Every structure is written in C-alpha cells, then in structure tokens.
Amino acid sequence: MSPVLDANIHPTAVVHAGARLGGNVRIGPYCIIGDEVEIEDGCELMAHVYMEGPLRIGSGNRFFPYSTIGVVPQDKKFHGERSATRIGKENIFREFVSVHRGTELGGAVTSIGDHNLVMAYAHIAHDCRVGSHTILANGTTLAGHVLIEDYAVVGAFCGIHQFCRIGRHCIIGGYSVITQDVLPFSNTVSERGVKTYGINSVGLERHGFSPERRKKLSRAFRLLSGSKLNTSQALGKIRAEAADSPDSVDVQELVRFIESSERGVIK
C-alpha cells in the first residue's frame, strides 16, 4: 500500500502522512486518520470517523459516522505502552461504535475478525477478541479481555463482564448482564437472573445444523440444566453418551468449553 493509492478523500478530512491507504478507499467529510493506520482496499469511512494507530484494517469494511477506532483504552493500568488494534475484512461498524486498542497485560492487541455487524453505540474494550460472523446489537458493551466466538449474537444493551467467553452460535437476549461464560449453541437471557433456555434452535438451523445435530445438543442441554444432576454429574453422563456417538463433535465442543471455563458457565 502506498500512502494514497486511488483513495477518494474529502477535502475536509485529515489524513496523517504516516497513514497507508489501499485502493478505492473512500474517506468522507471531517474524518481524522492518525499515524500508523493501515486501511486496505475498498473500505469506506462515511463522515466524522476517528482512527488512531497502530491500527490495521482489512478490505471492504464500512464505518458509519462518529465511530472511533483504535483509541487508547479506558484502563487505569494503561500508561501509554505500545499496543494495537487489528480488524479483518467486510465488517460493518455503525454510528458511535467505539473500539479501544490493547494493553500490555492483555497481550497488547484488540482483534476483530471478518463479516461482523457491530451496531450503533456498541463498545469493544481493550484486549477483546471478536471472532467472525457475529452480531453485536445496539448498545452492547464488552469490558476488557472478552472473547466473542464465531456466529455469536449479543442482544441490545447487554453488558459483558471482563474475561468472559461467549461461545459459538449462541444468542444472548437483550438487556442481559453477563458475568460468567455463555455456553456455545445456547439461548441465554436475563430474566430474574441470567439463565440458559436450551439451544439457539433458530440460529443453528439457519447455519446448517441438521436436525440430528440439534437433537444431540438439546439432549446435552437438558442434562445440564433440566435434570437434577449437578454440573460434574451431567458432564459425566454427556461424555458417556458422546463416547457412544463419535460424530457428536458439537457436544464434545460444549464439554470442552465447560471444562476450560475459569469463571464458571451460565446454566
């Protein structure tokens, strides 16, 4: 990438000499692009977008007005050490989204994958890792060090506590407060306490999970939350059933997720 390669830059935009822009990058009115910002081909910054480096952005991303990307974290332990933000390709960042770069204690990188939709006013804090094909609805707030796995859907105005993991293909209902790990494939929501209500049936069907795969996951969830077994007993029974069915890869992933949880999981 050259500093300005076929970029369409509005005359009111401010682009630092150290920024590097790919081909067909469109930068709208009053955007500010700082030093060490790399933007690959086909990205669009509509208006009033603010970016700080070190920041690397893949191709085909769209940034709606007033989004702020790569700014310093809201962490009192941060003292100006070098850290970065990494964003993949073809993501959408809606109005007033904020993404903060990493800290030394968290690996110094905040990372976002590909094909994500980050809706208006969502916040992705320092050292978060967001996978691909996720949806973070309006007002979603991720505290530091949160992991969002692929295809997760987080409902509007949810708050995710530091260091929590949000498992693949789950859906979290709006206004939920999440302080423990959310199981992959689950339907989880706050309602007089945060609970898991079985599997994310609609989402799994949309993503090509066969009826047999969904049935096996439903059985595992019933053992976890709908039986009189404690978590250890339920896991033992789930493992035994999975051993008799070698193709139960989703169930095995669920078991691994629970066994590796440091904060506990929501049942």
Q: Which has more confidence, 246 or 233?
A: 233
Partners of residue 85 on adjacent β-strands: 55, 110
- Reply yes or no on whether the pLDDT at 1 is more than 90: no
The predicted structure's pLDDT at residue 3: 53
- Six token digits for residue 90: 């073809």
Cα end-to-end distance, the chain, whole Å: 48
HSE (side-chain half, CA atoms, 13 Å) at 107 = 13
Candidates 144, 155, 173, 203; catalytic one: 144
Rounded (to 5) percent helix, strand, coil in the chain: 20, 30, 55
pLDDT score, position 6:
54
- What 3-state class would DSSP assign to 223? helix
Q: Band of the pLDDT at 201, cuts 50, 70, 90?
A: very high
Query: Between the CA of residue 162 and those of 85, 91, 113, 124, 146, what are the distances in Å?
Result: 18, 24, 20, 11, 6
- Out of 48, 100, 123, 126, which one is annotated catalytic? 126
Is the pLDDT at 194 greater than 90, yes or no?
no
Average per-residue pLDDT for the chain: 93
Look at 105 and 113; give whichever has higher pLDDT: 113
pLDDT tens digits for range 55-85: 999 999 999 999 999 999 999 999 999 999 9
Does pLDDT of 223 surpass 70?
yes
CA distance 241 to 226: 17
DSSP 3-state of 95: coil
Amino acid letter at 85? Answer: T
4 pLDDT above the threshold of 60: no
Average pLDDT over residues 102-122: 97
Report the predicted TM-score, pTM, of the whole model to 2 decimal places: 0.90
Catalytic-residue membership of 126: yes
Mean predicted confidence (pLDDT) in 167-183:
96
The structural domains of the chain, ordered by start, are 8-148 (2.160.10.10), 205-259 (1.20.1180)
Mean pLDDT for 14-20 is 97
Position with higher pLDDT, 105 vs 114 = 114
* pLDDT score, position 241: 86
Whether the pLDDT of residue 7 is over 90: the answer is no
Residue 192: pLDDT band with limits 50, 70, 90: low
Which of 106, 113, 123, 127 is catalytic? The answer is 127
| Residues paired with residue 123 on neighbouring β-strands, in sequence order | 98, 141
Identify whether the C-beta of residue 171 lies closer than 8 Å to the C-beta of residue 153.
yes
35 is an active site residue:
no
Does the active-site annotation cover 247?
no
Residue 237 has pLDDT above 80, yes or no: yes
